[in-house]
């Protein structure tokens, strides 16, 4: 499977994330964004956390590289998002730490929706630039485990069906639990996804346009409501010197999807 490396400067906006850190922060951030797209909340998996921590430690020990762990093809079967960040945090995620932190990684993964799909989600067919976003809100996932080691951040996404063990100790279903998922968003309606919906849902119009509705249904969220609309617009600002070190390097694998990305930065 091809992979791609992205070097991107986060969108700049005056906002802050909630105070929750560590396990609680990972879950809250993901579930807020999942709620906006009609996906059920994920629960924390200590098994996925251990796997993510082991790989984050490996990346930190290697230094300077981002490569996936192969979590898609080995137990516990799961998709994976990676990020590396350092230096001063951009305003969008510096509410709890002036340095690059776990919330910055989550925001940048999700922001692919704003950059590529906002306004034409219903007709979007190309999945090559949105692998992190789809991993976060994929309705076929109900477990998450994340970890940090130094400047490296790893989140793994799984489903109970793919992580359960049978009486013989082998992983239930193996990769079969992912097979059959088509490569186009328009067809994401089989596999582990709800029968009455798609695997990757568009952002709910009401929740996007009504701050009170977002608050009531999804909670306060990791981003201040006062800058919601500003954050939805792709930013082309030149970062200040303080932000130039906040370079996010992301390598992605299209989570749970057997497709090959086609992106100018693919290697």
Arithmetic mean of pLDDT over the chain: 67
Indicate the pLDDT class of residue 24, thresholds 50, 70 and 90.
very high
Which residue's structure tokens are 């007709």?
123
pLDDT over 70 at 79, yes or no? yes
197: Cβ contacts below 8 Å, ≥ 6 apart: 38, 139, 189
Q: How many CA atoms lie within 13 A of 161 on its CB side?
A: 11
- Read off the pLDDT of residues 92-122 as tens digits, 9 standing for 90 and up: 776 666 789 999 999 889 988 877 777 777 6
Counting every residue written for the chain, the total comes to 267
| pLDDT score at 102 | 92
In the chain the first and final C-alpha atoms are separated, in Å, by: 11
Report pLDDT digits (tens) over 142-160.
899 999 999 999 999 888 7
Gap between the Cα atoms of 11 and 19, Å rounded:
21
Dump pLDDT digits (tens) for 114-133: 777 777 776 665 666 788 88
User: Would you state the pLDDT for residue 240?
Assistant: 35
Structural tokens at position 145:
């485990």
Which candidate, 17, 30, 139, places its Cα nearest to that of 81?
Answer: 30
Q: What pLDDT, on a 0 to 100 scale, did the predictor assign at position 124?
A: 63
Buried/exposed code over 174-183 (b: 16+ C-beta within 10 A; e: otherwise): eeebbeebee
Candidate CATH numbers 3.40.50.300, 3.40.33.10, 3.40.390.10, 3.40.50.1460; the one for domain 22-227: 3.40.33.10
What's residue 13's pLDDT? 31
Mean pLDDT, range 233-241, rounded to an integer: 37
**Apex CA 72: angle with CA 78 and CA 35, to 5°?**
35
pTM of the model: 0.70
Residue 208 zone, left/alpha/beta (φ > 0; ψ -120 to 50; rest):
alpha
Query: For residue 260, what pLDDT is reported?
Result: 26
């Amino acid at each position: 499977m091809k992979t791609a490396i992205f070097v991107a400067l986060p969108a700049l906006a005056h906002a802050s994330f909630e105070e929750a850190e560590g396990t609680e922060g990972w879950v809250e951030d993901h579930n807020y964004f999942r709620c906006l797209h009609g996906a059920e909340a994920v629960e924390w998996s200590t098994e996925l956390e251990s796997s993510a921590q082991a790989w984050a430690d490996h990346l930190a020990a290697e230094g300077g590289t981002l490569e996936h762990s192969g979590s898609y093809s080995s137990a516990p079967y799961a998709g994976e998002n990676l990020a590396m960040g350092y230096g001063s945090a951009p305003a969008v995620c510096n509410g709890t730490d002036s340095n690059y932190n776990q919330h910055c990684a989550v925001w940048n993964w999700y922001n692919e929706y704003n950059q590529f799909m906002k306004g034409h989600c219903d007709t979007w067919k190309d999945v090559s630039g949105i692998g992190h976003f789809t991993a976060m809100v994929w309705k076929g996932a109900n477990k998450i485990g994340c970890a940090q080691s130094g400047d490296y951040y790893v989140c793994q996404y799984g489903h109970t069906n793919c992580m359960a063990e049978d009486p013989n100790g082998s992983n239930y279903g193996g990769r079969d639990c992912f097979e059959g998922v088509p490569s186009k968003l328009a067809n994401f309606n089989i596999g582990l996804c709800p029968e009455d919906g798609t695997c990757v849902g568009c952002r709910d119009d009401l929740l996007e346009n009504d701050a009170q509705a977002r608050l009531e249904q999804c909670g306060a969220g990791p981003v201040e409501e006062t800058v919601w609309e500003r954050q939805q617009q792709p930013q082309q600002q030149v970062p200040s010197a303080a932000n130039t070190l906040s370079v996010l390097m992301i390598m992605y694998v299209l989570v749970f999807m057997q497709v090959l990305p086609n992106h100018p930065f693919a290697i």
